[in-house]
Amino acid sequence: MASLSTTSLSFKAPSTRISQVLRNASSFQSVTFGRVTSSKSLRLQISCAAKAETVQKVSDIVKEQLALSADTPLTSESKFSALGADSLDTVEIVMALEEKFNISVEESDAQNITTIQEAADLIEELVQKKPAAETS
């Protein structure tokens, strides 16, 4: 378990790696972010919240494209193919995500999206890369 003083935790890492660390290290749940008041920790908080919201938006788009009922249980690890998506569905999902999040997905990246989490991760990465005025 890493200590969370601002000097010891490196914030130079790309935000996706930080959020993956947060996802995997359950010990972080016991840390009170309120104690660390620098702007960098605020960005951490925003990454956490945005992830869940992004996953929800992606799930909604997937449900709509694949005509799944509203109460179909979807997790972030749900695979598109296991839900019945073919390649045309996947492309339509990518287009819907581009419209929803105002991003542009490279075709090679689009092909590598197989789960809801992967889509959410890619979206977060592309949104972060946009001009600073639009992010935190």
Partner 1 sequence: MRISVISQLQRSFSMEFPSLVSLKLPSPMETHLWYIRPDEVKIPSLLKHYSQLLSPSEIDKVSQLRGDQLKKNALLARTLVRTTIARYQTNNAVDPRSLMFKKNTYGKPEVDWQNYKNCNIPPLHFNISHTDSLIACGVTVHVPVGIDVEDKERKIKHDVLAFAERFYSADEVKFLSTIPDPESQRKEFIKLWTLKEAYVKALGKGFSAAPFNTFTIQSKAGTKGEYNLCKTSEMTTSSLEKTNNCNGEWKFSLLELADSHYAAICIEDDQASGGAPMRVIVRKTIPFVEDELISESILL
Contact residues: partner 1, CB under 8 A? 64-65, 72, 78-79, 82-84, 86-88, 91-92, 95-96, 107-108, 111
Q: State in angstroms the smallest separation of the CB of 114 from partner 1.
A: 12
CB of 8 or CB of 108, closer to partner 1: 108
Give the separation between CA 126 and CA 136, rounded to whole angstroms.
14
CB of 48 or CB of 96, closer to partner 1: 96
Q: Which residues are catalytic?
A: 86
C-alpha distances (whole Å) from 10 to each of 5, 6, 123 are 10, 8, 23
Q: State in angstroms the smallest separation of the CB of 95 from partner 1.
A: 6
CB of 87 or CB of 135, closer to partner 1: 87
Q: State in angstroms the smallest separation of the CB of 101 from partner 1.
A: 15
Cα–Cα nearest to 58, from 22, 29, 18, 85? 85
Give the separation between CA 1 and CA 112, rounded to whole angstroms.
32
Q: Count how many residues are written for the chain.
A: 136
**Are 15 and 128 within 8 A, CB to CB?**
yes
